[in-house]
Structure 1
Amino acid sequence: MLGGSGVAVTKLGIGAWSWGDTTYWNDFEWDDRKLKDAKGAFEASLDSGITFFDTAEVYGAGVGIKIVLDYFLLYCSFSRSFQSNPDNLLMLMTFRFIKERKEKEGVEVAIATKFAALPWRFGRGSVISALKGSLSRLGVSSVESYQLHWPGIWGNEGYLDGLADAYEQGLVKSVGVSNYSEKRLRDAHERLKKRGVPLASNQVNYSLIYRNPEENGVKAACDELGITLIAYSPIAQGALTGKYTPANPPTGPRGRIYTSDFLSKLQPLINKIREIGGSYDKTPTQVVLNWLICQGNVVPIPGAKNAEQAREFAGALGWLLTEQEVEELRSMAREVKPVMGFPVEKL
């Protein structure tokens, strides 16, 4: 369940940040092959039993803010060919396609999306307006979760009131926040509680090598208040998969974070992850995702770029590391200097 909302999701979801994005992922270009791969990731996730998908109105922004990903999410599920005309996309992503899949296969798709707290958006009405735009692009009447993507520079009380309005109007089944500190989280929980609206989730950067939520009180506050922690970048943007080495660092912006020097210092931990995974016949990716699941009250949302990755993520479910293995990995991870997180965490 997402917090106390009553909304059920799979224990692991799929983050859609990389789908269509060219500012951080995909080496600044997007083509039919990558689109086909992402479509395969969506379908393979459903085939593997993963039905929780997290998107946002600013994903795939490129230059300026183009609200692309909401279109793309349902488009990937049901389109058989790529057409770049947005009007054609709208025709493809109506709610009846989800209904058809549900009726034929019994698949329940849970969608989470987010409100961008941009400086020129003011008050509770801006939340409702943005949400209705996302619902229109998604072709649905409501979503399972609507989250504030980051704390606003101002107007946060109005944004929270907007979330409560959306919940009361039946436009969302649960509400959440993202990148919220402990204090902001507690304040948001209290304000929504006065409206009788449960704060269901806080989506934050959390992985074996980025454990800031454990250190800054966010994880403990989530556990105390009954708020689900949704972990983005749970495999450290690929650094914990073992596919990158000092001689083969990631390309693009990630290469400036996960440098050859950083990857050299990470290798002992990667070797231990591989060793533990070998005893379960699991990959490093599956081990580090399972490590997060073992923390309790955590739903990781790794980003799948293709069907193979989606199927691999599903292999993180259905088993658990021992308490000794969990602590052994945490202890070794302390020797790795943490990378810088998303700056809005400090707003």
Structure 2
Amino acid sequence: MALHFSSACFSNFGRSTVPAVRAAASDQGGVAVKTAEEEKVKLGGSELKVTKLGIGAWSWGDTSYWNNFDWDDRKLKAAKNAFDTSIDCGLTFFDTAEVYGSRMSLGAISSETLLGRFIKERKERNPDVDVAVATKYAALPWRLGRKSVISALKDSLCRLELSSVDLYQLHWPGIWGNEGYIDGLADAVEQGLVKAVGVSNYSEKRLRDAYDQLKKRGIPLASNQVNYSLIYRLPEENGVKSACDELGITLIAYSPLAQGALTGKYTPNNTPSGPRGSIYTPKFMTKLQPLINRIKDIGEGYGKSPTQVVLNWLIAQENVVPIPGARNAEQAKEFAGAVGWKLSNEEVEELRSMASEIKPVIGFPVEKL
């Protein structure tokens, strides 16, 4: 398919912080009032601060994996409500990518375009709202050299209607040209187009190489975004999590709910629709039920849903920022309830132990590159 790349349009939005008030359970069991700003964390060694939990926008505009291969006005309205509710609940970190919903991925409308539109409309009502935007560069085989990174970034900024983004990431390792891509990330920082840079789906070795290359330019590698959930703990097993901790790189966890399998919504008789159905089969969901039941039991003790327990488990791993995908307001509101409290160490380890008895599903092939 033909791809057209331009870098002609920019629009400026001012950024300032309005601390939203949130409640968080204290160690004594009481309630301590904190602001969203106080609950923010730095991404790696960068100066960029984001909320402890972000929102993934993969499903917005997508028709190749999500939305049952269809996109309409009802789903558009639901995505807009998910964005606004996230902001209202103090979740202001949004992750998208140039391939989400785009023509190159056979989507209906670019997720970047939708996110940019949502931000613009929100700022018209509330000019002081502070939104942290992360997007990604697609390391396509025909893209060569550092200039391709800047060109793609400017296209993303055009779709987002922003003059800069907070975090720019390499979506996956390139088949070749990775050193040029890393230099392109550094160039983007030096040109003031991004505040921080990261990678995604990087193995331990590639992660260390990227870290060292950026360090020579005096720029920290802020993050590595990988598939990570209670039932997909490959980052713990392949050295990625320990390398992130050692080097001071934040692990951003995508698919933290195992694409809905850990929410308690699905059963052996009610499996996910679309491509997810071939991954989370009735057989797999049967094996998963004891863990789901225990997650529900633990959640009841805190007045929390299974979704909130599973997300809190990831936050408890420290140096991890989960980014569940919100397709509607109800999901966004539920995600917000995953922060401000903490599972006990015993519960964290019990869930890991139970999950270790379940053979994990297959991840994405890019993790092997």
TM surpasses 0.5: yes
Structure 1 residues 60-75: aligned runs within 5 Å = 60-61=101-102, 64=105, 68-75=110-117
* Corresponding residue for residue 108 of structure 1: 130
CA–CA separation in structure 1 for the residues paired with 2:229 and 2:114: 27
C-alpha distance in 2, partners of 1:300/1:252? Answer: 23
Report the alpha carbon displacement of residue 136 of structure 1 after superposing the two structures with TM.
1.2
Deviation at 1:55, TM superposition (A): 0.2
Query: Are residues 1:256 and 2:264 paired?
Result: no
Partner of 1:84: none
- Is 1:76 the counterpart of 2:98? The answer is no
Deviations 1:11-38 (A, max 9, x none): 0000000111000000000111011101
Give the equivalent residue in structure 2 for 1:19: 60
Amino acid at match of 1:344: V
8 Å CA contact 2:63–2:106 kept in 1: the answer is: no
Secondary structure of the corresponding residue to residue 101 of structure 2: coil
Secondary structure of the corresponding residue to residue 214 of structure 1 = helix
2:223 aligned residue: 201
Once the 2 structures are TM-superposed, how far is the Cα of residue 308 of structure 1 from its aligned partner? 0.3
* Residue 142 of structure 2: aligned partner: 120
RMSD: 1.2
**CA–CA distance in structure 1, aligned partners of residues 243 and 302 of structure 2:** 32
Code of the residue aligned with 2:58 in structure 1: it is W
Alignment of 1:215-294 (within 5 A): 215-294=237-316
CA contact (8 A) 1:39 1:77 kept: no
Q: Which has the higher strand share?
A: 2
Which among 35, 44, 49 is matched to residue 3 of structure 1? 44
Pick aligned residue for 1:55 from 96, 101, 107: 96
Pair 1:102–1:4, CA change in 2 (3 A): farther
Deviations 1:94-140 (A, max 9, x none): xxx63x4553xx42100000000000100000000000111111111
Question: TM-score by structure 2 length?
Answer: 0.87
Instruction: Label 1:249 to 1:29 Cα distance change in 2 as closer, same or farther (>3 A).
Output: same
Deviations 1:231-264 (A, max 9, x none): 0000000000010000000110000000000000
Instruction: Give the residue type in structure 2 aligned to 1:261.
Output: K
Letter in structure 2 aligned against 1:323: N
Q: Measure, in 2, the Cα distance between the counterparts of 1:176 and 1:310.
A: 25
TM-score by length of 1: 0.92
In 2, are the aligned partners of 1:208 and 1:234 still within 8 Å (CA)? yes
Structure holding more helix per residue: 1
SS of the residue 2:235 aligns to: helix
Aligned partners of 2:248, 2:218: CA distance in 1, in Å?
15
Q: Measure the CA separation in 1 of the matches of 2:291 and 2:267.
A: 12
- Alpha-carbon distance, 1:328 to partner: 0.1
User: Where do residues 54-203 of structure 1 align in structure 2 (5 Å cutoff)?
Assistant: 54-61=95-102, 64=105, 68-78=110-120, 98=123, 100=124, 103=127, 106-203=128-225
For 1:226 and 1:27, locate their aligned partners in 2 and report how far apart those are by CA, in whole Å: 39
Pair 1:322 & 2:339 matched? no
Q: Please state how far the C-alpha of 1:77 moved relative to its aligned partner.
A: 4.3
Contact 1:58 1:65 in 2 (8 A): no
Contact conserved, 1:21 with 1:62, CA < 8 A, in 2?
A: no
* Aligned-partner Cα distance in 1 for 2:44–2:135: 16
The 1:7–1:32 alpha-carbon spacing in structure 2 relative to 1, beyond 3 Å, is same
**C-alpha separation in 2, matches of 1:291 and 1:12:** 12
Counterpart Cα distance in 2 of 1:251 and 1:314: 25
1:25-44 to 2 correspondence within 5 Å?
25-44=66-85
Change (3 A) 1:64 1:108: closer
Number of the residue aligned with 2:39: none
* Cα distance change on mapping 1:157 and 1:298 into 2, 3 Å: same
Letter in 1 for 2:44: G
- Where does residue 85 of structure 1 map in the other structure? none
Q: Distance in 1 between matches of 2:360 and 2:165?
A: 34
The total of aligned residue pairs comes to: 327
Counterpart code for 1:242: G
Instruction: Give aligned-pair identity as a percent.
Output: 74
Pair 1:308-2:308 in alignment: no
2:272 maps to a residue whose letter is P
Q: How far did 1:65 drift?
A: 6.1
